[in-house]
């Protein structure tokens, strides 16, 4: 109690005192909870994830399912039956997102987080919300090459989607955010995003929240204290953790394949055309959105299931093999959580300093030249919603992305080894050492004149089209309106 009182006293003191009179006490950052202000334990509704490999998953009807569970009340040790919300994690996402122990998920916190996410109150001029640049109707991105924030300031970089950001090991293109909670604090202080004030951005934002009785009440019931930066970040992250995208045509074909192989007892868990054809048939029966995604007409094209099944399978084979996409785009969300220089920022073989990406963010003493010009591998679900592509937003279509990879990316001195024809480079060096003529078109770098030769994929026109078709089959189903409709809240 005394700790809390004195923190409040410090808080009031700091607000009443001109900033220059005292060392900054940062009262806006965090406060300690007063349990008596919080919703009692027995009435707190926790939110839990249920994934498709858990037995109860199938029985869950919707994304958001209300139920009950037994818990021990930490204050009394007694068993209580509490309400719980079970989230049906979409097919294809086999793991539940990791939830930090200091930020357990409850429905009240989720509601508060959702309100904050869509509320322009976090911006100085009241014109910008998180949703301005991560809008549900634009795939939780903004559809622009680079984002426009406060006072129409044009940002330098493409807005990544919040879809499945819950699974990211790092946030931001250069990985400078370590968690959703960490990331959520950035935009509020960014003068191209939400901040147009003069003093400390979070002090100003927290002051606005503390002047709003509804927010004061909500923060108290969830966190046991007035609005703070720590609590706002936790609430927003809680909402973002539920922005999950799966249920793609490819996920459905995979599920059907597992069912088929189990029934056949063959033990060969390998996709066949018939699995995609079966998934497509089910899609025609249900008039699913995946048909439109891959360019099929639900009314007319039912006869094309085998042809398209075959082509999507061919695209998948390319993604995993010849086109080497899974060298970096792997796992449930199709990212290795790594950073690679694929040359997006390079022009005419040169990489400008402001395109050094991950390298700049590595702490001094940990600089790794393999990460010069490297950016985070984004996931490849939901691509039909999140154009334009790459951190620069320079590719407007998936066809353009595939053409980019087909030519081996953009040559530069630090192009990832995974993007290079290292055998050709070795041969080049040998030929040159022997004094024989070498290909004049090869770019060389540095005092040793190191050749960099991008690995061309040599995809045919048909292969490119099939690969794009596979990417479209990864798109996935729209989210539950409870998550994607800003006005919708549980029980309303």
Interaction site with ligand HEC (CB under 6 A) = 122, 128, 130, 132-134, 147, 149, 155, 157, 159-160, 162, 165, 168, 171-173, 180, 183-184, 187-188, 193-194, 236, 323-325, 327-329, 340, 342, 344, 375, 377-378, 380, 383, 386, 389-391, 401-402, 405, 416, 418-419
Phi-psi region of 348 (alpha: psi -120 to 50; beta: other; left: phi over 0): left
Question: For residues 50 and 457, which CB has a smaller minimum distance to ligand HEC in the complex?
Answer: 457
Smallest gap from residue 9 Cβ to ligand HEC (A)? 30
Is there a contact between 52 and 95 (Cβ–Cβ < 8 Å)?
Answer: no
CA pair distance 413, 404, nearest whole angstrom: 17
CA pair distance 147, 422, nearest whole angstrom: 37
Q: Token digits for 234?
A: 């936790």
Question: For residues 181 and 274, which CB has a smaller minimum distance to ligand HEC in the complex?
Answer: 181
Smallest gap from residue 458 Cβ to ligand HEC (A)? 12
Smallest gap from residue 229 Cβ to ligand HEC (A)? 11
Smallest gap from residue 331 Cβ to ligand HEC (A)? 13
Question: For residues 405 and 428, which CB has a smaller minimum distance to ligand HEC in the complex?
Answer: 405
Smallest gap from residue 51 Cβ to ligand HEC (A)? 21
Question: For residues 115 and 380, which CB has a smaller minimum distance to ligand HEC in the complex?
Answer: 380
What's the CA angle centered on 41, arms 87 and 180, to 5 degrees? 45
Question: For residues 192 and 304, which CB has a smaller minimum distance to ligand HEC in the complex?
Answer: 192
For tokens 């055309």, the residue is: 273
CA pair distance 386, 139, nearest whole angstrom: 5
Question: For residues 249 and 342, which CB has a smaller minimum distance to ligand HEC in the complex?
Answer: 342
Smallest gap from residue 215 Cβ to ligand HEC (A)? 15
Q: Could you give the dihedral angle defined by the CA atoms of residues 344, 349, 355 and 358, in that order, rounded to the nearest 10 degrees? A: 80
Smallest gap from residue 222 Cβ to ligand HEC (A)? 17
CA pair distance 424, 421, nearest whole angstrom: 5
Question: For residues 187 and 288, which CB has a smaller minimum distance to ligand HEC in the complex?
Answer: 187
Nearest to 21 by CA among 31, 13, 29: 13
**Cα-based distances in Å from 463 to 316, 318, 406, 430, 469:** 10, 8, 11, 34, 10
Smallest gap from residue 177 Cβ to ligand HEC (A)? 6
CA pair distance 251, 62, nearest whole angstrom: 18
Burial level of 446, CB count in 10 A (0-12/13-18/19+)? exposed
Smallest gap from residue 266 Cβ to ligand HEC (A)? 30
Is there a contact between 111 and 221 (Cβ–Cβ < 8 Å)?
Answer: no
Is there a contact between 362 and 343 (Cβ–Cβ < 8 Å)?
Answer: no
Nearest to 233 by CA among 406, 116, 85, 385: 116
CA pair distance 344, 355, nearest whole angstrom: 9
Smallest gap from residue 371 Cβ to ligand HEC (A)? 11
Question: For residues 57 and 118, which CB has a smaller minimum distance to ligand HEC in the complex?
Answer: 118
Question: For residues 351 and 383, which CB has a smaller minimum distance to ligand HEC in the complex?
Answer: 383
CA pair distance 128, 149, nearest whole angstrom: 7
Question: For residues 54 and 478, which CB has a smaller minimum distance to ligand HEC in the complex?
Answer: 478
CA pair distance 272, 258, nearest whole angstrom: 11
């Amino acid at each position: 109690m005394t700790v809390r009182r004195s923190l409040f006293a410090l808080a009031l003191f700091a607000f009443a005192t001109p900033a220059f009179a005292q060392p900054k006490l940062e009262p806006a950052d965090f406060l300690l909870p007063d349990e008596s202000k919080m919703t009692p334990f027995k009435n707190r509704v926790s939110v839990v994830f249920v994934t498709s490999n858990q037995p109860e998953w199938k029985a869950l009807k919707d994304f958001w399912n209300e139920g009950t569970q037994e818990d021990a009340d930490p204050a009394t040790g007694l068993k209580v039956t509490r309400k719980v919300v079970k989230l049906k994690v979409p097919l294809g996402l086999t793991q539940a997102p990791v939830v930090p122990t200091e930020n357990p998920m409850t429905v009240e916190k989720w509601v508060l987080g959702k309100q904050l996410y869509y509320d322009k109150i976090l911006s100085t001029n009241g014109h910008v919300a998180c949703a301005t640049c991560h809008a549900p109707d634009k795939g939780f991105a903004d559809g622009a090459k680079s984002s426009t924030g406060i006072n129409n300031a044009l940002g330098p970089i493409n807005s990544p989607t919040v879809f499945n950001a819950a699974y990211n090991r790092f946030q931001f293109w250069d990985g400078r955010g370590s968690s959703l909670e960490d990331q959520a604090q950035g935009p509020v202080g960014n003068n191209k995003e939400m901040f147009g004030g003069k003093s400390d951005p979070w002090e100003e934002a927290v002051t606005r929240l503390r002047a709003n009785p509804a927010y004061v009440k909500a923060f108290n019931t969830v966190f046991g204290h007035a609005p703070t930066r720590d609590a706002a970040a936790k609430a927003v992250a809680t909402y973002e953790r539920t922005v999950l995208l799966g249920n793609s045509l490819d996920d459905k074909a995979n599920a059907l394949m597992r069912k088929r192989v189990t029934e056949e007892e063959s033990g060969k868990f390998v996709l066949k055309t018939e699995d995609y054809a079966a998934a497509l048939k089910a899609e025609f029966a249900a008039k699913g959105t995946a048909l439109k995604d891959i360019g099929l007409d639900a009314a007319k094209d039912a006869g094309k299931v085998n042809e398209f099944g075959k082509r999507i399978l061919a695209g998948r084979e390319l993604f995993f093999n010849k086109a080497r996409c899974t060298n970096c785009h792997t796992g449930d969300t199709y990212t290795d959580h790594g950073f690679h220089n694929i040359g997006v920022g390079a022009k005419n073989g040169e990489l400008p300093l402001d395109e050094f990406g991950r390298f700049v963010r590595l702490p001094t003493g940990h600089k790794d030249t393999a990460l010069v010009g490297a950016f985070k591998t984004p996931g490849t679900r939901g691509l039909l919603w999140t154009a334009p592509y790459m951190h620069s937003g320079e590719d407007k279509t998936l066809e353009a992305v595939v053409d980019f990879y087909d030519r081996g990316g953009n040559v530069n001195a630090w192009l990832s080894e995974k993007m290079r024809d290292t055998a050709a480079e070795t041969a080049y060096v040998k030929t040159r050492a022997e004094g024989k003529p070498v290909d004049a078109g090869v770019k060389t770098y540095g005092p040793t004149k190191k050749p960099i030769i991008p690995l061309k994929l040599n995809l045919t026109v048909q292969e490119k089209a099939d690969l794009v078709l596979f990417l479209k089959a990864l798109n996935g189903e729209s989210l539950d309106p409870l998550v994607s409709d800003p006005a919708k809240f549980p029980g309303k």
